[in-house]
Structure 1
Amino acid sequence: MKRIRSPQKTAEKLLLAVMTLFAAVASVIFLLPTVLTITNSFMAQSEINANYGVVFSSVSGGSKTFISEKVNLKFIPDIVSFSQYFSVLFKTPDYLLKFWNSVILTVPVVIFQTAVALFASYGFARLTGKLKEILFFFYIVLMLMPYQVTLVPNYLVADKLGLLNTRWAIILPGIFSPFAVFLLTKAMKRIPKTYFEAAMLDGASELQIFTNICFPMVRSAVFSVLMLVFIDYWNMVEQPLILLNDEQMHPLSIFLSKINTGDTGLAFAVAVIYMTPSLLMFLYGEEYLVEGITYSGGIKG
């Protein structure tokens, strides 16, 4: 006997197919710039100039000019060349200096902001009282404010403390950023209180509860915080521009905009080197990132 398909099921399958197609097309569009940057970093400078040189042309004085000439987008180089990477890694130390500036500014913020957030969020999750609720409310308000709003107060405080034009002007405010505290607090509040009560009945101290119960259950959320904070500060622009007057201390995120005025081939290679840490971290921890954000360290159903 021939089975009759339900019109509702047919419509659901059609909708699923359309949504899948749309997601695939959107993914390809979003990936095109990244793929183009990676493949073009292996082009010779002469080939890059032949294809894209008009985009980066400038007139005397350094001002850019628009040239209405067709640009030839190429994803596959005619000849694979590593000359751009050789120039970046061995002939031009400025690029590596800016890369290490990014590392020096980002890694301490990621480590210590996560450490501070772990203990602060444990306190918010365990303690009760109106004072705690008021303090957590101010954390949320600060988190919702864009960095540009607090930039002037941060500048004035750094100036008064004598930290202006030093790396501490960026690292110290980053360590006490409220974003990680908010995310980890929500994760810890998902842990059933019966776990804490049972541990206290067994005579466990607060430190033992934190290390043996709380931290293992929010490990995915901690990894999510590490990734999100790293990406945020790895791509920072406003902080070093305002708080660091010495260009020798600027990270690679700022220096990238200046490369296009010179050797465009190096710009592609430096861009690939710059995006590599974020890509590797995302590819390695994608599962933890999704799990940490979705479940916020709670119990899966």
Structure 2
Amino acid sequence: MDQMQKHGKRAGVKQKRNVVLPFFMGALAFICCYPILFLMTGSLMGQGEAAENLRPVFSGAEGFASWSVLPFQPTLRSYVELIFDTPDFFVMFWNSMKITGGILLGQVVFGIPAAWGFARYRFRFRRSLFFLYIVMMMMPFQVMMLSDYLVIRRMGFMDTMAAIILPGIFSTLPVFIICQFFKEIPEELLEAARIDGAGEGNIFFQIGLPLGKAGIISALVLQFLECWNMLEQPMAFLKTPSLWPLSLFQPQITAETAGAAFAASVLALLPAIWVFLAGHEFLEQGIQAYCGNV
């Protein structure tokens, strides 16, 4: 009888857990997704409605900003004005594409071979150098800003896209993530390839890259998300507005341009969402490798 009561209590606890846990996770998911819903709602509001709701924020008037889940009169006017009447948006959009593409291309050229070297070769000071990589990976941009500024200014790259692209090319995070995947390749497989007469280059391209594809893609996805949204680097190294990326377009918000700013935020979010959805499976593997080795 006691066992039946214990079994009944356990079943009741399990049933409550099955009800409470999904509700709790759903609430957290809604909280995380609410900013996106906020942006989409604001982008569909008319100029007068958005300005009226946010007037206390921009004008310093008394009271609090108000918001509604659905616009009172939905309109695509903000998107039309942004696409057809705001050429600066497209200039900044393509600047972001150039900066992000240049950084990712450089990391493919330099970061992947560096990760392969750390993972598969034994050389002097390898551990010390890799430890230095990890230390640099942990440092925020604010710590490295002064040294980066001095080097970039000495090289004559201030106020050019190279001031953003070159430091990003040699970011240490992709090397660390890709290296963990390269280390999982069995050494016996590489030795068999060498016995068959394969050179080191063939081993890298025909064995290393295919087997390390998950780590490479996950690292590139993470770097895309970071580079696409970078803010402090352009503010520190770029002074000419025509060179600014899209991330610097967002702060230019007033009560009269709030709708266009919301629409710009939604359009700027679309590439990041697409890249995330395309590589989220590999991204999960990369995060697991990162968390398991830090």
Does TM, scored on the shorter chain, surpass 0.5? yes
Structure 1 residue aligned with 2:224: 230
Pairing partner for 1:271 from 257, 262, 265: 265
Offset at 1:149?
A: 1.0
Q: Which residue of 2 aligns with 1:60?
A: none
Query: Which shows bigger deviation, 5-14 or 178-187?
Result: 5-14
Q: CA deviation at 1:71?
A: 3.1
2:170 corresponds in structure 1 to 176
What residue in structure 1 maps to residue 48 of structure 2? 46
Structure 2 CA distance for partners of 1:201 and 1:14, relative to 1, 3 Å: farther
* Amino acid of the structure 1 residue aligned with 2:144: T
Counterpart contact for 1:43–1:265, Cα < 8 Å: yes
Counterpart code for 1:117? G
Q: Which residue among 217, 220, 223 is the counterpart of 2:214? A: 220
Offset of residue 191 of structure 1: 1.5
* 2:201 is equivalent to residue 201 of structure 1: no
Shift of 1:7: 4.7
User: How many residues were matched structurally?
Assistant: 287
Change (3 A) 1:218 1:102: same
Pairwise CA distance, 1:227: 1.1
Question: Residue 253 of structure 1 aligns with which residue?
Answer: 247
Return closer, same or farther for 1:109/1:262 CA change in 2, 3 Å cut-off: farther
SS in 1 for 2:250: helix
- 1:129 matched to 2:123? The reply is yes
What is the aligned partner in structure 2 of residue 281 from structure 1?
275
Counterpart in 1 of 2:148? 154
Code of the aligned partner of 1:48: A
Asked whether the 8 Å contact 1:40–1:75 carries over to 2, the reply is no
Q: In 2, are the aligned partners of 1:55 and 1:67 still within 8 Å (CA)? A: yes
Are the structure 2 counterparts of residues 265 and 123 from structure 1 closer, same or farther at C-alpha, using a change threshold of 3 Å? same
2:189 partner amino acid: Y
Q: Quick one: which amino acid aligns to residue 44 of structure 2?
A: F
Letter in 2 for 1:201: I
Residue 12 of structure 1, CA deviation: 5.0
TM-score (norm 2): 0.90
- Give 1:4 deviation, angstroms: 7.2
Aligned twin of 2:30: 28
C-alpha contact 1:221 1:291 (8 A) present in aligned 2? yes
Instruction: Give, in whole Å, the separation in 2 of the partners of 1:14 and 1:40.
Output: 38
With over 3 angstroms needed to count, the CA separation of the structure-2 counterparts of 1:72 and 1:215, relative to structure 1, is same
Distance between the aligned counterparts of 1:266 and 1:133, measured in 2? 51
Structure 1 residues 251-260 or 157-166, which shifts more? 251-260
CA distance in 1, matches of 2:18, 2:176: 35
Could you say if the C-alpha distance between residues 100 and 196 of structure 1 is closer, same or farther in structure 2, counting changes exceeding 3 Å?
same
Residues 155-200 of structure 1 show CA distances to partners (whole Å, capped at 9, x for unaligned) of 1111111111111111111111111111111111112212111211
For the Cα contact (< 8 Å) 2:55–2:61, is it kept in 1? Answer: no
Name the CA distance, whole Å, in 1 between partners of 2:32 and 2:259.
Answer: 22
Contact 2:51 2:255 in 1 (8 A): no
Aligned counterpart for 2:233 among listed residues 231, 239, 242? 239
Task: Could you tell me which runs of 5 or more consecutive residues in structure 1 were left unpaired when the two chains were aligned.
Answer: 58-65, 297-301
Distance across 2 between alignment mates of 1:69 and 1:243 = 39
User: Higher mean Cα deviation, 83-92 or 211-220?
Assistant: 211-220
Q: Deviations over 1:228-264 (max 9, x none)?
A: 1111111111111111121221112122112236511
1:185 lines up with 2:195 in the alignment: no
- Equivalent position SS for 2:7: coil
How far apart are residue 290 of structure 1 and its match? 1.3
CA RMSD of aligned residues (A): 2.1
Structure 2 letter corresponding to 1:52: L
**Residue identity matched to 1:56:** F
Encode CA deviations 1:62-118: one digit per residue, 9 max, x unaligned: xxxx33324331222233311111111111111211111211211110221133111
Tell me if structure 2 keeps the 8 A contact 1:88–1:96: no
Identical-pair percentage: 35
Amino acid at match of 1:251: P
Q: Contact 1:40/1:77 (CA < 8 Å) preserved in 2?
A: yes
